[in-house]
Structure 1
Amino acid sequence: MRLKRLLLIDAVKWADVYEPGHRLRDVDGWFGRALGEDPTLSLQTCSIEADLEAALNQEIDGVIISGSPRDAWSDDPAGLNLLHSLKICETRQVPVLGVCYGHQILARFLGGKVDRHPQGLQLYTGTIHLRSEAMECPLFEGLGPSFPAISGHADSVHSLPDGCQWLAESKDTPIQAFHYENLFFGVQFHPEFTGEIIQYLWSHRLETWRSMVPFDLGERIDNLKDAPGTQRILTQFARTVVT
């Protein structure tokens, strides 16, 4: 059986307070654990700031773009580097799954509108509702019409361009998932996250953000629940969409 080569584009920008070498400062590990053991898959990781064109030249079969504290609507050099790599993926017909920031940058690349979330920070385990258009999308096979998922974002996709199919929504973030020509797929929520990862990421942001949100941020972080069913989206992408 041929080995499928997946490229994970690590878009995370770590602040100095996150100690290098900590077991949870490991974007590759987050996605690797969510994908599970599969001898038919090879996952390699490349930083968003690295030579993504060279990484894509390594006979890559599929791409996953991680979340990030970066703004997908910004023209920072790393984001522009990623937008260039998406043009390569489109030309070569390499399927891409974008998560959170990755979802937003895909929408921007295709001509959609990305901006600050009108209600500010969204951080919780909430219910995602699939639209009828999602019923034939392989990513959501086996999840049912609604399911819990971990959300953690302050930006969102405000509108999709022509040609995209709107697949999922939630109470506070209407565009939770979309796809474009069965080539580009985006999910606003985090199928790779666990409650432990959220606690690690937000433990160092708590004091900065506490006064900026209309809820008890510490309590929200402590009570956030895992949503292991959404890991299936990653495995479905790797095993069904990527060929």
Structure 2
Amino acid sequence: MAKFLLLQLRPEPETSDSEYHAILDKSGLDADRVHRICLDREDLPDNLNVEDFAGVIVGGGPGCVSDAPEQKTPVEARIEQSCLSLMPQITANDLPFMGCCYGIGILGHHLGADVSKAQYGEPVGPTTCMVTEAGRADALLRDMPAQFDAFVGHKEALQELPTGAVHLLSSAPCPFQMIRYGDNVYATQFHPEADGAEFETRIRFYRHKGYFAPEDADRLIDMCHSADVTWPEKILAAFVARYS
């Protein structure tokens, strides 16, 4: 059985490992079915062929594709280039792809859409996602309720639907919460792997990264633990089940 390729972007071992275990747990994948590459400290192998994998999952991270080149650290620039280098093959061949948070920026940027901080950024915490008409017919969403809460926290967002993409989920603060390109290329603005405990880990590490006022960290942690966020993980599980 082919493995899933997991690309991780978080430069802190604690948040990267926590995200890794959350993705395994929520997707139903065992570690031996995942080929994990931590792009903050590893290069993509020269002989990497994404068609050798059942699918590609891209995790989140603190970088923004819309930042000016001079604002990006060398690590952020290398991570971005690594992800973008795979997108032509993925989109041209309609290969299974799930980009989480940062991944929707990568997909949108590759497709020529406007990704920026102009509007639609969301503070850390739960947001209510609503299934669009197209979303109700999508293979990953057909068993989802009409609306559900998901965890977000992002500075940049799609400002428009990329040409050729299908709009699957929206929210009041950010219209493009989930899109699909072709039949198999997906991206979410929210974090489908995250629960309250996972978001606590990220809040503690990113409290000085500009997502929120540092003094709000404890309040946000309490809010995330009290939120009812259980449906997004089913999207990740459905992705893995479909392409296994």
Q: TM-score range by the shorter chain?
A: 0.7 to 0.9
Name the structure 1 match of 2:221: 221
State which of 11, 14, 27 in structure 2 corresponds to 1:13.
11
Per-residue displacement from partner, 1:52-110 (whole Å, max 9, x unpaired)? 55343682121011111011224523212211111122344421111100111111111
Shift in Å, 1:193: 0.8
Q: How does 1:84-123 map to 2 (within 5 A)?
A: 84-116=85-117, 118=119, 120-123=121-124
The one-letter code sitting in structure 2 at the alignment partner of 1:25 is D
- Residue 236 of structure 1 corresponds to 238
Aligned partner of 1:45 in structure 2 is: 36
* Pairing of 1:160-179 with structure 2 (within 5 A): 160-179=161-180
Conserved 8 A contact 1:202-1:221: yes
Question: CA, structure 1 residues 67+204, in 2 after alignment: closer, same or farther (shift >3 Å)?
Answer: closer
| More divergent stretch after superposition (68-77 vs 155-164) | 68-77
**Contact 1:167–1:177 (CA<8 Å) still a contact in 2?**
yes
Q: Deviations over 1:150-206 (max 9, x none)?
A: 112111111122211111111111111111111311111111011111111111333
Equivalent position of 2:17 in the other structure: 25
Superposed CA deviations along residues 128-149 of structure 1, whole A, max 9, x for unmatched, are 0011011111111211111111
Partner SS, residue 197 of structure 2: helix
Quick one: distance in 1 between partners of 2:7 and 2:209?
A: 27
Percent identical among aligned pairs is: 22
Supply the AA of the counterpart residue of 1:223: M
Q: Given the superposition, is the C-alpha separation of residues 42 and 207 from structure 1 closer, same or farther in structure 2, using an over 3 Å criterion?
A: closer
Q: State the secondary structure of the residue aligned to 1:126.
A: strand
Distance in 1 of aligned mates of 2:104 and 2:211:
26
Q: Which secondary structure does the structure 1 equivalent of 2:140 belong to?
A: helix
Query: TM-score normalized by structure 1?
Result: 0.84
Instruction: Give me the TM-score of the superposition, normalised by structure 2.
Output: 0.84
* Structure 1 segments unaligned to the other structure (5+ residues): 15-19
The 1:117–1:130 alpha-carbon spacing in structure 2 relative to 1, beyond 3 Å, is farther
2:66 matches 1:62: no
Deviation of residue 38 (structure 1)?
6.5
Following TM superposition, by how much is the alpha carbon of 1:43 offset from its aligned partner in structure 2, in angstroms? 1.6
Q: How many residues align?
A: 232
> Residues of 2 paired with 1:35 and 1:27: CA distance?
12
Once the two structures are TM-superposed, the CA of residue 26 in structure 1 deviates from its matched residue by 3.2
CA RMSD of aligned residues (A): 2.7
Does structure 2 retain, via aligned residues, the 8 Å contact 1:210–1:217?
A: no
Specify the SS of the correspondent of 2:110: helix
